[in-house]
Amino acid sequence: MNPAASLARLWGIALKELVQLSRDRLTFGMIVGIPIMQLLLFGFAINSDPKHLPTAIQVQDNSVFTRTFIRSLENTGYFQIVQQVSSEAQANQLLAEGEVQFVVNIPPDFSRQLVRGERPIILLEADATDPAATSNALASLLTVGQSVLNRDLTGSLAKLRPSDAPFEVRVHRRYNAEGITQYNIVPGLMGVILTMTMVLMTGLAMTRERERGTFENLLATPAKPLEVMAGKIVPYIMIGLVQMTLILLAARFIFAVPFQGSLLLLYAVSLLFIAANLSLGMTFSTIARNQLQAMQMTFFFFLPSILLSGFMFPFRGMPGWAQVIGNGLPLTHFLRLVRGILLKGNDLVEIWPHVWPIMLFMTVIVALGAKFYKRTLD
Amino acid sequence: MTLAIDVRGLNKHFGDKHVVQDLSLQVKQGEIFGFLGPNGSGKTTSIRMLCGLLTPDSGAGQCLGYDVIRETAAIKRHVGYMTQRFSLWEDLTIRENLDFIARMYGMKNRKQAVNAVLVKLGLDERRNQLAGALSGGWKQRLALAACMMHEPQLLLLDEPTAGVDPKARREFWDEIHQLAAQGISVLVSTHYMDEAERCHKLAYIARGKLLITGSAEEVIASQRLTAWEVSGAELQGLAEQLRHLPAVEQVTAFGSRLHVIGGDAALLEAALEPFRQLPGYQWQKIEAGLEDVFISLMERQNDQQEVV
Ligand SMILES: Nc1ncnc2c1ncn2[C@@H]1O[C@H](COP(=O)(O)OP(=O)(O)OP(=O)(O)O)[C@@H](O)[C@H]1O
Ligand SMILES: [Mg+2]
């Protein structure tokens, strides 16, 4: 096998695909139209009420008041203490990696200040990238503050039992301080749009050849399966990057989404995500008998992607089985990557836990695609 | 003498349909080999097995010395296959199609080769027209040019001249003969008898079985058909009567003449005797043609099928 000849054929196929694409007005319109339409449609938020959100606590004052506060926090149903942390740095890292949604910080002299009636401050840091996921939990905090310590404030302390809470919970929204839903939705849309268009377009690429009978001609030439597959993927990688740039421009200039992290890193992980989706489309394309089947497969994949990835509903609000499925989908990880990089300014080390699952997904899919690629007309 | 195609015992099933049965075929280098048979008899399927587009269920053999099962990649490089149905890209222009094919074969002087083909076809002025906008016959000629561009050693042509006008057909066959003279082998399927007659050798396949191979003369001789030609007025009524005779296999009208064919010369002559006495008709014994032979083959097969 001659690599230069292989590359030349791959390029020939990519060129052909580009020319055909440029003559296909409808598809071309879709490439620009779908992102714009979805951006407009999803400009508004979709709310829900997730519970048992993972919470870390940093306790610097171990007293009966602290324990009661924490217990009642858990009793709201919204908070689930998963970890004790001992330093600010550790807390920050957990938030940045998305391990926890909240960090509760009880200050060192909480009890002393409370008893003196100085209204101590409990700091609650929230990962507010997805405002829908945190808003109800934060609302429930108000009632906690008002009633929780009444039982413990007895005897001479009873006078501290006012209508006003004896302490203050100060919420610190991280990453998306104003709780603007577009900050969350718009980066998410990038993943959704890429998933839909990339899988669909390559899904049709092979079946179109088969339906029109041109596959027979392609098969009769010396072009090898891998050359054909790769040649057909290349133009769509370019298209994916164009779409992504369109959405990023809209995010920046229409929705004013903050760009905290490295744009280069964002493009790098997007390239991986695009390639994963294209491989999936290619694999669908090799299995489907006609364009309709390829389309059905795409939607079969697209629905769970949009519903279970944390795009429509906050991931942590979903039942366990749904989270398991969600974790197998590249979109789930891509959403976290985009939000992490754009809103939190994550670096490669921080996002790695969501990079390898996409790589794994792609490896499995490419292997399947190569296995199912029909080298003959049988 | 080298064989361009040498396969034995090829079988192919689609589901439980046995589409090609024990096909054995030898095509010499430089030979034009005609592949004939009724619709659905397995010609296309056989050709696809020869160039590696379908895997035979059983059987073995070689194309240009390469194994038809294991060395399909090498076969594809040296064979030019023209599909029965137009299978170039209708949304590419004529030039883009040729250019793409040239790239797939890794041709070195791609641009010149494409230009040469365009000029030769007389399509140079329409090079930027979409292939889908060509008429049926022109599509056919483009496809033919495309599969010959990389100078293959063996051409597998599946009904290459269907829908092509007589002059272009004649030019095509002249070119095929030139190529054959240069040592290129050609396997061509066709339903046209005049084309069959221009082949060095013929094979007739029906219901997946190869029934006869040989030159046109050998094929005709093998069937021992006797043919009579009648001319005269009011042939329609006569034809109707002749068709009912057991000794008569075919009655075909050609303008103001009828061809009457039978398998047994003596029986036919006896059966026709009373009709030859009728006034106003001229009877004449003639040679049976290829077409008569093939139609008789098809009908005999149908009869067999009905008995089974
Ligand atoms: N992909 C396929 N799947 C199922 N059956 C098939 C397939 N391809 C061909 N057949 C069947 O195999 C038989 C032979 O078909 P084939 O195309 O080889 O005939 P042919 O001799 O080329 O006919 P024609 O003269 O009409 O081109 C037909 O009965 C056809 O229905
Ligand atoms: Mg055919």
ipTM: 0.86
Whether A213 and B83 lie within 8 Å, measured CB to CB:
yes
Mean pLDDT calculated for residue range B88-115? 95
Residue A145 has pLDDT above 60, yes or no: yes
Residue A155 has pLDDT above 80, yes or no: no
B11, B36, B39, B44: residue to mutate for ligand 1 pocket, most atoms within 8 A of CB: B44
Q: Find out whether the beta carbon of B140 lies less than 6 Å from any atom of ligand 1.
A: no
Residue A88 has pLDDT above 70, yes or no: yes
Assign domain A53-174 to its CATH superfamily: abc type-2 transporter like domain (3.40.1710.10)
Q: Which of these ranges, A98-112, A128-142, A156-170, B122-136, has the smallest mean pLDDT? A: A156-170
- Rounded to whole angstroms, how far apart are CA atoms A17 and A12? 9
Say yes or no: B281 and B185 in one domain: no
Q: What is the pLDDT of residue A147?
A: 64
Token code pair at residue B256: 């103001």
Q: In which band, very low, low, confident or very high, does the pLDDT at A151 lie, cut at 50, 70 and 90?
A: low
Of B77, B81, B100, the CB nearest to A16: B100
Q: What is the pLDDT of residue A179?
A: 58
Distant-in-sequence, close-in-space partners of B103: CB < 8 Å, separation ≥ 6: A8, A9, A11, A12, A15, B110
State the Cα angle at A76 between A75 and A77, rounded to 5°: 85
- Rounded to whole angstroms, how far apart are CA atoms A83 and A53? 12
DSSP-assigned beta bridge partners for residue B257: B231, B254
Q: In which band, very low, low, confident or very high, does the pLDDT at A254 lie, cut at 50, 70 and 90?
A: confident
Token code pair at residue A88: 């600010």
- Rounded to whole angstroms, how far apart are CA atoms B296 and B298? 5
Position A284: which residue type?
F
Say yes or no: B142 and B231 in one domain: no
The chain B residue lying nearest A378, using CA atoms, is B54
Whether B88 and A24 lie within 8 Å, measured CB to CB:
no
Token code pair at residue B240: 């109707």
Q: In which band, very low, low, confident or very high, does the pLDDT at B81 lie, cut at 50, 70 and 90?
A: very high
Report the first-to-last Cα separation within chain B, whole angstroms. Answer: 42
- Rounded to whole angstroms, how far apart are CA atoms A16 and A235? 10
Position A347: which residue type?
D
Segments of chain A assigned to CATH 3.40.1710.10: 53-174
Whether B105 and A219 lie within 8 Å, measured CB to CB:
no
Protein residue with its CA nearest to atom 7 in ligand 1: B14
Asked if B117 contacts A22 with a C-beta cutoff of 8 angstroms, the reply is no
Say yes or no: B202 and B268 in one domain: no
- Rounded to whole angstroms, how far apart are CA atoms A75 and B158? 78
Of B92, B104, B147, the CB nearest to A222: B104
- Number of structural domains (chain B) is 2
Whether B89 and A20 lie within 8 Å, measured CB to CB:
yes
Mean pLDDT calculated for residue range A290-294? 88
Q: In which band, very low, low, confident or very high, does the pLDDT at A62 lie, cut at 50, 70 and 90?
A: confident
Distance from CA of B219 to the nearest CA of A (A): 32
Say yes or no: B46 and B155 in one domain: yes
Say yes or no: B245 and B98 in one domain: no
Residue A76 has pLDDT above 70, yes or no: yes
Q: Find out whether the beta carbon of B14 lies less than 6 Å from any atom of ligand 1.
A: yes
> Last residue of a domain, which of B181, B214, B247?
B214
Token code pair at residue A253: 């200039």
CATH of residue B226: 3.30.70.920
Say yes or no: B77 and B175 in one domain: yes
Asked if B218 contacts B195 with a C-beta cutoff of 8 angstroms, the reply is no
Total Cβ atoms within 10 A of residue A69? 24
Mean pLDDT calculated for residue range B95-117? 94
- Rounded to whole angstroms, how far apart are CA atoms B189 and A165? 94
Interface test with A, best of B44, B54, B89, B140 (most A CBs within 10 A): B89
Asked if B134 contacts B146 with a C-beta cutoff of 8 angstroms, the reply is no
Q: What is the pLDDT of residue B147?
A: 92
Q: In which band, very low, low, confident or very high, does the pLDDT at B201 lie, cut at 50, 70 and 90?
A: very high
Say yes or no: B176 and B228 in one domain: no
Residue A274 has pLDDT above 90, yes or no: yes
CATH of residue B41: 3.40.50.300
CA of B19 to the centre of ligand 1 (A): 7
Query: With left for phi above 0 and alpha for psi between -120 and 50, is residue B37 left, alpha or beta?
Result: left
Residue A325 has pLDDT above 80, yes or no: yes
Chain B residues closer than 8 Å to A5 by CB: 106
Q: In which band, very low, low, confident or very high, does the pLDDT at A178 lie, cut at 50, 70 and 90?
A: low
Say yes or no: B57 and B91 in one domain: yes
DSSP-assigned beta bridge partners for residue B10: B23
- Rounded to whole angstroms, how far apart are CA atoms A104 and A84? 10
- Rounded to whole angstroms, how far apart are CA atoms A231 and A14? 4
Residue A44 has pLDDT above 60, yes or no: no
Asked if A351 contacts A341 with a C-beta cutoff of 8 angstroms, the reply is yes
The chain A residue lying nearest B81, using CA atoms, is A220
Say yes or no: B206 and B242 in one domain: no
- Greater confidence (A110 vs B198) lies with B198
Q: What is the pLDDT of residue B308?
A: 42
pLDDT, tens digit, 9 for 90 and up, residues B271-307: 888 888 888 888 988 888 888 888 888 887 776 655 4
Q: Find out whether the beta carbon of B19 lies less than 6 Å from any atom of ligand 1.
A: yes
- What are the distances in angstroms from CA A140 to CA A67, A153, A316, B241? 18, 21, 17, 102
Say yes or no: B93 and B236 in one domain: no
Residue A109 has pLDDT above 90, yes or no: no
Residue A39 has pLDDT above 50, yes or no: yes
Asked if A251 contacts A338 with a C-beta cutoff of 8 angstroms, the reply is no
Q: Note down the domain range covering B246.
A: 221-307
- Rounded to whole angstroms, how far apart are CA atoms B147 and B105? 10
Protein residue with its CA nearest to atom 29 in ligand 1: B40
DSSP structural state of residue A378: -
Q: In which band, very low, low, confident or very high, does the pLDDT at A45 lie, cut at 50, 70 and 90?
A: very low
Mean pLDDT calculated for residue range A114-122? 81
Strand B226-232: give its sheet, edge to edge.
Answer: B250-254, B257-262, B226-232, B281-286
Chain B residues closer than 8 Å to A217 by CB: 83, 87-88, 101
Protein residue with its CA nearest to atom 9 in ligand 1: B45
Residue B50 has pLDDT above 90, yes or no: yes
Say yes or no: B145 and B280 in one domain: no
pLDDT, tens digit, 9 for 90 and up, residues A332-351: 999 989 888 888 888 888 88
- Residue carrying structure tokens 């409370």: A114
Say yes or no: B110 and B197 in one domain: yes
- Residue carrying structure tokens 């040729």: B98
Please list the alpha-helical segments (H only) found in chain A: 3-23, 25-41, 64-75, 88-96, 110-115, 131-147, 181-212, 214-220, 225-253, 263-287, 291-308, 320-328, 330-339, 348-372
Q: Find out whether the beta carbon of B39 lies less than 6 Å from any atom of ligand 1.
A: yes
CA neighbor of A174 nearest in space, from A232, A134, A231: A134
- Rounded to whole angstroms, how far apart are CA atoms B40 and B154? 24
- Greater confidence (A37 vs A191) lies with A191
Q: What is the pLDDT of residue A47?
A: 41
DSSP structural state of residue A270: H
Mean pLDDT calculated for residue range B47-72? 93
CA neighbor of B7 nearest in space, from B53, B63, B52, B55: B63
- Residue carrying structure tokens 């269907």: B162
- Residue carrying structure tokens 């009709």: B275
Residue B129 has pLDDT above 90, yes or no: yes
Token code pair at residue B124: 């140079």
Q: Reduce the secondary structure of chain B to three states and give it as a string.
A: CCEEEEEEEEEEEECCEEEEEEEEEEEECCCEEEEECCCCCCHHHHHHHHCCCCCCCEEEEEECCEECCCCHHHHHHHEEEECCCCCCCCCCEHHHHHHHHHHHCCCCCHHHHHHHHHHHHCCHHHCCCEHHHCCHHHHHHHHHHHHHCCCCCEEEEECCCCCCCHHHHHHHHHHHHHHHHCCCEEEEECCCHHHHHCCCEEEEEECCEEEEEECHHHHHHHHCCEEEEEEECCHHHHHHHHHCCCCCCEEEEECCEEEEEECCHHHHHHHHHHHHCCCCEEEEEECCCHHHHHHHHHHHHHHHHHHC
- Report chain B's C-alpha Rg in angstroms: 22
- Rounded to whole angstroms, how far apart are CA atoms A189 and A208? 28
- Greater confidence (A232 vs A183) lies with A232
DSSP-assigned beta bridge partners for residue A103: A56, A125
